[in-house]
Amino acid sequence: MLAAVLVRGSRHGKRLLVSPALNLKWPANANTQFGLRSRQGINLIASRLVHGDATGHNHEPKTEGIRNIGIIAHVDAGKTTTTERMLFQSGRTRHLGNVDHGDTVTDFLPLERERGITIQSAAITFNWPPSHMCPPGLEPKTINLIDTPGHQDFRYEVDRCLPILDGAVCILDSVKGVEAHTERVWQSAQLSKIPRLIFINKLDRDGASFKRSVHEIASRLATWPLLCQIPWWNKDEFIGVIDVVHELGLRFSSTGHMSVTSKETIARENSALASEIEIARIRLIETLSEHDDALMDEFMEHEKDVPAGSIKRAIRRLIMDGEAKFSPVFAGASLRNIGVQPLLDAVVDYLPSPVDRPELQIIDGTKAFPFSQILEREIKKKKHSHHQSPIVAIAHVFKVVDDPRRGMMSFARVYHGALSRSNQMWNSHIHGFEKPMSLLNVSANDYNELQHLSTGQIGAMTGLKSARTGDTLITFPGHHSNAPESLRNIRIKALETPPAVAFIAIEPYTKTASEKIQDALKKLSREDPSIRWTKGEKSEQLVLSGMGLLHLEIAQHRLRTHYKIEKESAMWGDIEVEYSESLLAPVGPHRALYDRPLRDKPGKAACTVTLEPVEARHQHESLLESCIVRDTNIFHIVIPLPANTAMKGFAFDPETVRQQLLNGAIAGLARGPRRNAPVGRCHVHIEFNPETDFFGAASTGGHITNAAIHAVRDALKEAFAKGQVGISEPFSNVHINCPEEASNSIQHDLVSGRGGQVLEVRRPDYDLSSESGIDLSKVYVPPGPYDSVQSLRGPKKAGVRMLDIIGKAPLKEMMKYDSQLRSMTSGRHSLQLDPGGFELVTGPRERALEEARL
């Protein structure tokens, strides 16, 4: 029995007694190599012997041994602290990084360490378990981990990383439970169908409640919690976790060293806890059996003695589809190193490898196809044999970083084949080849050169001059001067960049300063596509736009520190809200003929544009299949076949022309006629008639793009002349937790003073089970140590009755609202803001905007 593993400490802590059949030898140099104390090293091995591999395989191919995971959560839930403990326990680092001390590995930017928050996602690779601590037949798994930001201003940084992940660990603060941003990143992971684990953190804090956290997982995240662990309390002290699957206690000392305690030992010390372990295991098996036939058969045969391996395999099967109908739940306190090692075991045991994930979907034109179907299509054309793939490798760029030493680095996930630094890579977004200077294995701000990146791996490339976030890189067999016609436009679906909600104006004092700032802005926007910038048509004014107050403050700081833009080189305005313009009625059709020389080359092209407002969400969704969506605008581009039957097809590449028309339409909507603000919520219908709008060799790409720009702008000018252009402003969904005595004044201020709405007022323990469809009375949670004893650890806060105010308000009024709330609540509040989209400005607010503009 694995549970019979015994750990006996000698004076030096190096004696390990195990079942003779295991034949495990303790490596003599393991302590010095991994920087771990002997007792900790022994207990780590004992943990792996107990947990093992859920699949039961002794050896896995390289790709099957990869785990691409992300850490997602609300800000301050403990993501970076948990990541640091993972790195230390794996032997990747030799010291424990601390957010408060500013010495973490993944938060390596100076501003991240100064503010104590994660600003940009960081990738790091390590093995678990370390090879010197693996029992015979078990090889380490390679974990590519991405630590993501938790602040809502950096939500796009999270969203663009999620699609390249195979699994995720969602961390909850057990004191605060499921918070607003937790729900949002959970939904983002849901859209990408990513299997998830949940780690309830900070159980050592006053006010922590495992029971409340589990109930909020069920009610607010709408997932059934599978309790794989329950907290282990010694009176009022959180000392470890109980492994429900193996019926073992994992106890942690004050220094974070783990020891394994059998159920029999626990029963002698605490009979009530031993009984609760049995109840927890039976409830877990019953829940799994209701939805897994294989486990049901074993349950009928073995009853409560179902093998641990069978339970693990059932859990893995139930979460593998990424629908999150069920979520394994683990417990701990990362700052004290409680629960981190078994959480790493869970990552290996339950989360999928790249080969376990659904097949990659490829966008070709406007439709998505399985990647294998694209390959089969090419092979059937007899251009390739069955022994040679028409695509050597395909990868997705999910992040671009300007490194001080290596220049622009493009982070990519490889989905098929292997990328080599000797290969030319076709970028299907820019329609050009690029060649990397080097391939790198990423470890936060440390990099190691590689010869190639193979399937399932995440790495970085240097030397790509044009690659941006969301681009698809493809390598073809042989040496190509151009990509095959049928494969030039295929791409992996990329995240759409959300519309900016805040901006800051920059007035350079000199032309030299203007050029330097523009060069820095180009690099900054390539790093972060949610950063946009524009230059005035008749002035040198630059406008920098972003996702919120903190986002732009960080952008300013990076411009001044990383790109060496001196504050005295320009006049910097205040951060303001980014308004948008919108149509109130349809306009057009408008045909524009662009007949002017470009770069001293004559040419002409034309197109016809019709604009309509996107009135309702259901209309927006009905158009998605056949249209292209950018921000809140929908583009429908029609290129009819020539009526002349003598013509065989088009005299041009329709996909290239479609992209040129799209670029022109997007540029035409960049500045509206009323406030020079971007135009949003607009349905743009573009028709390009080959017989009347195409002029042969005279219709260059620049002329086609400019024809679309002018057609869109002419239509907007007509709408403005008719008074059919409105102003929209960004709204925030507001969640305020405050004392009951302050709630009335806050509600009045939110509605009367801020132009917002109060949607709901409720107590924090409000039952959301009816909304999630999960009956909380059927969700098993063990009794907590304070269920019958009043304590500071309970949810009460010095007798103050708290209320939650749920509403929405203009972002402009919310950007600095936290300071106003502080005076109204004496600091006893929390404020959560989440993007609420754009809404039309009417009445007094519209008049005030016009007066302020004049």
Which DSSP string do the residues of 404-417 spell out, in sequence order?
Answer: TTTEEEEEEEEEES
Please give the share of the chain, as a percent, with pLDDT higher than 70.
Answer: 81
Task: State the Cα–Cα distance between residues 200 and 208, nearest whole angstrom.
Answer: 10
Sign of the alpha-carbon dihedral angle for 502, 507, 512, 513: negative
Listed in sequence order, the residues at least 6 apart from 651 whose beta carbon sits closer than 8 Å to its beta carbon are 690, 694, 696
* pLDDT band per the 50, 70, 90 thresholds, residue 444: low
- Position 445 scores a pLDDT of 59
Numbers of helices and strands, H then E, in the chain: 23, 41
Asked if residue 381 has pLDDT above 80, the reply is: no
Question: Scanning the structure block, which residue is given the tokens 């429900």?
Answer: 244
Asked if residue 61 has pLDDT above 60, the reply is: no
Q: Give the residue-averaged pLDDT of 23-39.
A: 34
Flag the least confident range among 109-113, 348-352, 353-357, 378-382.
Answer: 109-113
Asked if residue 38 has pLDDT above 50, the reply is: no
For 634, phi then psi, to 5°, come to -120, 130
Please give the share of the chain, as a percent, with pLDDT higher than 90.
Answer: 40
- Position 35 scores a pLDDT of 34
Q: Give the residue-averaged pLDDT of 453-480.
A: 88
Residue 191 in tokens: 């859209």
Identify whether the C-beta of residue 640 lies closer than 8 Å to the C-beta of residue 689: yes
Is the peptide bond preceding residue 352 cis, with omega within 30 degrees of 0? Answer: no
* pLDDT band per the 50, 70, 90 thresholds, residue 32: very low
Q: Report the candidate in 163, 210, 208 with the shortest Cα–Cα distance to residue 189.
A: 163
Identify whether the C-beta of residue 133 lies closer than 8 Å to the C-beta of residue 16: no
Identify whether the C-beta of residue 626 lies closer than 8 Å to the C-beta of residue 606: no
- Position 281 scores a pLDDT of 95
Q: Report the candidate in 627, 586, 602, 595 with the shortest Cα–Cα distance to residue 693.
A: 595
- Position 617 scores a pLDDT of 43
Flag the least confident range among 321-330, 436-445, 599-608.
Answer: 436-445
For 283, phi then psi, to 5°, come to -65, -40
Asked if residue 267 has pLDDT above 80, the reply is: yes
10 Å Cβ neighbour count for 823?
8
436: alpha, beta or left, given left = phi > 0 and alpha = psi -120 to 50? beta
- Position 643 scores a pLDDT of 67
Task: State the Cα–Cα distance between residues 529 and 109, nearest whole angstrom.
Answer: 19
pTM of the model: 0.76
User: Of 250-254, 520-524, 648-652, which has the strongest mean pLDDT?
Assistant: 520-524
- Position 789 scores a pLDDT of 40
Identify whether the C-beta of residue 505 lies closer than 8 Å to the C-beta of residue 491: no
3-state secondary structure of 240: strand
Torsion of CA 333, 338, 340, 346, to 10 degrees: -100
Mean of pLDDT over the chain: 81
* pLDDT band per the 50, 70, 90 thresholds, residue 122: low
Please give the single-letter amino acid code of residue 385: S
Task: State the Cα–Cα distance between residues 411 and 405, nearest whole angstrom.
Answer: 16
Task: State the Cα–Cα distance between residues 138 and 779, nearest whole angstrom.
Answer: 35
Asked if residue 60 has pLDDT above 60, the reply is: no
- Position 1 scores a pLDDT of 31
The pLDDT tens digits for 528-544 are 888 889 887 777 789 99
Domains and CATH numbers, the chain: 2-356 (3.40.50.300), 361-492 (2.40.30.10), 502-577 (3.30.70.870), 585-723 (3.30.230.10), 728-853 (3.30.70.240)
Torsion of CA 496, 501, 502, 506, to 10 degrees: 50
Identify whether the C-beta of residue 694 lies closer than 8 Å to the C-beta of residue 605: yes
The pLDDT tens digits for 758-800 are 999 988 766 665 566 788 888 999 987 655 443 334 344 445 7
- Position 766 scores a pLDDT of 61
Which whole-number Å values give the CA distances from 322 to 84, 164, 350, 351, 357, in the listed order?
A: 26, 14, 12, 10, 9
- Position 327 scores a pLDDT of 96
Task: State the Cα–Cα distance between residues 426 and 88, nearest whole angstrom.
Answer: 39
Question: Does 250 or 548 have the greater pLDDT score?
Answer: 250
Burial class (CB in 10 A: 0-12, 13-18, 19+), 341: buried
- Position 481 scores a pLDDT of 64
Question: What is the β-pairing status of strands 167-173 and 196-201?
Answer: parallel
Asked if residue 340 has pLDDT above 90, the reply is: yes
Task: State the Cα–Cα distance between residues 235 and 244, nearest whole angstrom.
Answer: 20
Please give the single-letter amino acid code of residue 836: G
Half-sphere exposure for 280 (CA within 13 Å, toward CB): 26
- Position 827 scores a pLDDT of 83
Task: State the Cα–Cα distance between residues 752 and 772, nearest whole angstrom.
Answer: 33
Identify whether the C-beta of residue 80 lies closer than 8 Å to the C-beta of residue 107: yes
For 748, phi then psi, to 5°, come to -65, -40
- Position 3 scores a pLDDT of 34
- Position 120 scores a pLDDT of 54
Identify whether the C-beta of residue 490 lies closer than 8 Å to the C-beta of residue 472: yes
The pLDDT tens digits for 492-520 are 988 777 788 889 999 999 999 999 999 99
Task: State the Cα–Cα distance between residues 228 and 15, nearest whole angstrom.
Answer: 30
Listed in sequence order, the residues at least 6 apart from 377 whose beta carbon sits closer than 8 Å to its beta carbon are 486
Flag the least confident range among 38-42, 238-242, 283-287.
Answer: 38-42
* pLDDT band per the 50, 70, 90 thresholds, residue 685: very high
Burial class (CB in 10 A: 0-12, 13-18, 19+), 286: middle
88: alpha, beta or left, given left = phi > 0 and alpha = psi -120 to 50? alpha
- CA angle, 42 as apex, 38 and 44 as ends, to 5°? 115
- Position 237 scores a pLDDT of 86
Task: State the Cα–Cα distance between residues 454 and 419, nearest whole angstrom.
Answer: 6
For 17, phi then psi, to 5°, come to -105, 120
The pLDDT tens digits for 208-223 are 999 999 999 999 899 9
Which DSSP string do the residues of 58-109 spell out, in sequence order?
Answer: S---TGGGEEEEEEEESTTSSHHHHHHHHHHHHTS-SS---TTTT--SS--S
Burial class (CB in 10 A: 0-12, 13-18, 19+), 449: exposed
DSSP H or E stretch at residue 274: helix 271-289
Asked if residue 339 has pLDDT above 60, the reply is: yes
> How far, in whole angstroms, is CA 174 from its chain's centroid?
22
- Position 826 scores a pLDDT of 86
Task: State the Cα–Cα distance between residues 93 and 779, nearest whole angstrom.
Answer: 39
463: alpha, beta or left, given left = phi > 0 and alpha = psi -120 to 50? left
Q: Report the candidate in 844, 811, 834, 815 with the shortest Cα–Cα distance to residue 579.
A: 811
Asked if residue 604 has pLDDT above 60, the reply is: yes
- Position 571 scores a pLDDT of 92
Which DSSP string do the residues of 243-269 spell out, in sequence order?
Answer: ETTTTEEEEE-TT--EEEEEHHHHHHH
CA-based end-to-end distance of the chain: 81
Identify whether the C-beta of residue 682 lies closer than 8 Å to the C-beta of residue 588: no
- Position 626 scores a pLDDT of 57
Asked if residue 407 has pLDDT above 70, the reply is: yes
Identify whether the C-beta of residue 321 lies closer than 8 Å to the C-beta of residue 101: no
Sheet holding 491-492, edge to edge: 367-370, 361-364, 491-492
- CA angle, 172 as apex, 168 and 177 as ends, to 5°? 145
Task: State the Cα–Cα distance between residues 155 and 452, nearest whole angstrom.
Answer: 31
Q: Report the candidate in 507, 372, 399, 506 with the shortest Cα–Cα distance to residue 460.
A: 399
Q: Report the candidate in 574, 518, 513 with the shortest Cα–Cα distance to residue 542.
A: 518
- Position 173 scores a pLDDT of 93
Flag the least confident range among 364-368, 469-473, 668-672.
Answer: 364-368
- CA angle, 145 as apex, 141 and 151 as ends, to 5°? 160
What does the buried/exposed string (b/e) look like for 555-593 if buried means 16 or more CB atoms within 10 Å of the residue's CB?
bbbbbeebeebeeebbebeebebbbbbbbeeebbebbbe
DSSP state of 291: T
- Position 648 scores a pLDDT of 59
- Position 253 scores a pLDDT of 81
